[in-house]
Amino acid sequence: MRLLHQKELVLPMLPDKELEAGEEASELAAEASMDADRVDELRLAVQEAFINASEHSGASDGRVYVNLALLGGERPELVQVTVRDTGVGFPEPVLRGTMRNEEGRPRKRGWGLTLIRRLVDEVEIESGTHGTVVVMRKKI
């Protein structure tokens, strides 16, 4: 599979900026003829990754880096969205995406990564003191 198209976004960690990242991803997926419901799922996954970066990374540069890529052969086959920050890494409960909180009660917050894992086909997460990279892939 080769890279057919890509776009880089650098967005400030401001309220509702996740909508911009989600919209760009959904436009790319729709142009590549992804089914509309799957486009919506990708949009939400990208929003959640962006929100996690904004809320948990503590990145001093206050920015989220988004790479949108279309991969395939003769035709587009896959949309890959990479959301990266330069923060301190996600705390363990966020990374685990458990269904219950520390008291064992149903969790109300911290659903981002659970949703991402269920809304796209493949997810890779690398998180550490250098920052966090979330790579999401969804087939067309």
Binding site for other proteins (CB under 8 A): 15-20, 22-23, 37, 40-41, 43-44, 47-48, 51, 99, 106, 108-109, 111-112, 114-115, 118-119
Shortest spacing between CB 55 and other proteins, in angstroms: 9
Residue number, 74 or 102, with CB nearest to other proteins: 102
Shortest spacing between CB 41 and other proteins, in angstroms: 5
Residue number, 45 or 69, with CB nearest to other proteins: 45
Q: What is the 3-state secondary structure (H, E, C) of the chain?
A: CEEEEEEEEEEECCCCHHHHHHHHHHHHHHHCCCCHHHHHHHHHHHHHHHHHHHHHCCCCCCEEEEEEEEEECCCEEEEEEEEEECCCCCCHHHHHCCCECCCCCECCCCCHHHHHHHHCCEEEEEEECCEEEEEEEEEC
Shortest spacing between CB 46 and other proteins, in angstroms: 11
Shortest spacing between CB 97 and other proteins, in angstroms: 11
